[in-house]
Amino acid sequence: MRIATWNVNSAKQRLPRMMPWLAERKPDVVCLQETKLSDVAFGELFGEPLAALGYEFAHHGEGQWNGVALLSRVGLVDVRPGFPGQPDFGGRSEARAVSATCGGIRVYSLYVPNGRVVGSDHYAYKLDWLDALAADVAAGPAELALCGDMNIAPSDADVFDPAAYVGQTHVTAPERERLAALGLTDVVRKRWPAERVFSYWDYRAGMFHQDLGMRIDLVLTSTSVADRVAAAWVDRAARKGTGPSDHAPVIVDLDEAPDGDIGPVVPPPSNPKRGGRTRLPQAR
DNA sequence: ATGCCTAGGTATCCTAGA
């Protein structure tokens, strides 16, 4: 099963990039963020083209800002917009989370608040929002994948220049502590433990061309899901060319779930003709 | 240079993104 997450920065503007990408990458489940559409507008724009590719969808939007969606062709059940205890901002609930069960996994599409300025009301909102999310995750099912624009770089390795981010949101200890407190596995970092991997590059000043970015779009899974990861990567090709989002998709491939009937995995017997261990060729 | 893009909405500039 292939799961992808992509902050598209306006689904309406990105439609010419999204549909060919879906046809090429063929993800089974897609988490979208920053659709910037109402539910009605998303359905009008994407309903028919998604159905033609075999996707069901669940969209949770406002219109102007935010907006998240789930696309699936492996089932889409128990759809839930938002999560219990999700805080408001400015007295209004924002469309930043939608979850559903797809292919046996509880999948969340998340657009974590930006935080704007450290110490601001929006920053406090971001931390509260993450606390409430952690409480929901702790109460949730074991097969879990939190996907989306977390607006947090998990470590200094996830920004192009840590010195440039001192005092900025996305890198502060309170944000990182809350990300870690979710208790999930960052499957792209696990797969590429020491590599330079970014998922967002500012549109300005040739940042993408110079690979000056941040890794803030994450797939965080429970251990049972992390153990099935066969591939995990950032699809940088989707950030190239004409009219891209400023974020690239993150793609994760999972092996089939163990069905419980195959019994313990037994290592193959050694070859008796060789009398034990196979030896590597020896250097002279 | 607190900018350099991009998007949405209202309107020909503002907010927001990160």
Q: Is A149 considered catalytic here?
A: yes
A270 CA from B17 C1′ (Å): 59
Q: Which nucleotides of B are covered by protein (CB under 7 A)?
A: 4-9, 16-18
A10 CA from B13 C1′ (Å): 21
Instruction: Considering only residues A205 and A282, tell me which one the structure prediction assigns the higher pLDDT.
Output: A205
pLDDT in tens, A11-55: 999 999 999 999 999 999 999 999 999 999 999 999 999 999 999
Catalytic residue among A59, A60, A170, A247: A247
pLDDT attached to residue A18: 98
Sign of the alpha-carbon dihedral angle for A130, A134, A135, A136: positive
Is pTM beyond 0.85? Reply is yes
Reply yes or no on whether the pLDDT at A277 is more than 90: no
A7: containing domain = 2-283
Mean pLDDT value across residues A196-224: 97
CA distance A131 to A143: 20
Residue appearing with tokens 């792209």: A188
A59 CB less than 7 Å from any atom of strand B = no
pLDDT attached to residue A266: 58
pLDDT attached to residue A185: 98
Residue among A162, A151, A98, A159 nearest A122 (CA): A151
Instruction: Considering only residues A283 and A4, tell me which one the structure prediction assigns the higher pLDDT.
Output: A4
Feature table: binding site of A for Mg(2+): 7, 34, 149, 151, 246-247
- Give the model's confidence band at A261: pLDDT under 50 very low, under 70 low, under 90 confident, else very high: low
The CATH number of the domain holding residue A273 is 3.60.10.10
Instruction: Considering only residues A149 and A269, tell me which one the structure prediction assigns the higher pLDDT.
Output: A149
Q: How many domains does chain A have?
A: 1
pLDDT attached to residue A258: 84
pLDDT attached to residue A278: 40
Helix/strand/coil (H, E, C) string of chain A? CEEEEEECCCHHHHHHHHHHHHHHHCCCEEEEECCCCCHHHHHHHHHHHHHHCCCEEEEECCCCCCCEEEEECCCCEEEEECCCCCCCECCECCCCEEEEEECCEEEEEEECCCCCCCCCHHHHHHHHHHHHHHHHHHCCCCCEEEEEECCCCCCHHHECCHHHHCCCCCCCHHHHHHHHHCCCEEHHHHHCCCCCCCCECCCHHHCCCCCCCECCEEEEECHHHHCCEEEEEECHHHHCCCCCCCECCEEEEECCCCCCCCCCCCCCCCCHHHCCCCCCCCCC
Average pLDDT, chain A: 93
Reply yes or no on whether the pLDDT at A218 is more than 80: yes
Q: Which nucleotide has the least CA–C1' distance to A111?
A: B17
Q: Measured between alpha carbons, how far is residue A79 from residues A105, A115, A233 in Å?
A: 12, 27, 27
- Give the model's confidence band at A274: pLDDT under 50 very low, under 70 low, under 90 confident, else very high: very low
Residues 117-176 of A with CB within 7 A of strand B:
122, 149, 151, 169-170
Amino acid at A130: L
Mean pLDDT value across residues A154-180: 97
Reply yes or no on whether the pLDDT at A58 is more than 90: yes
pLDDT in tens, A76-129: 999 999 999 999 999 999 999 999 999 999 999 999 999 999 999 999 999 999
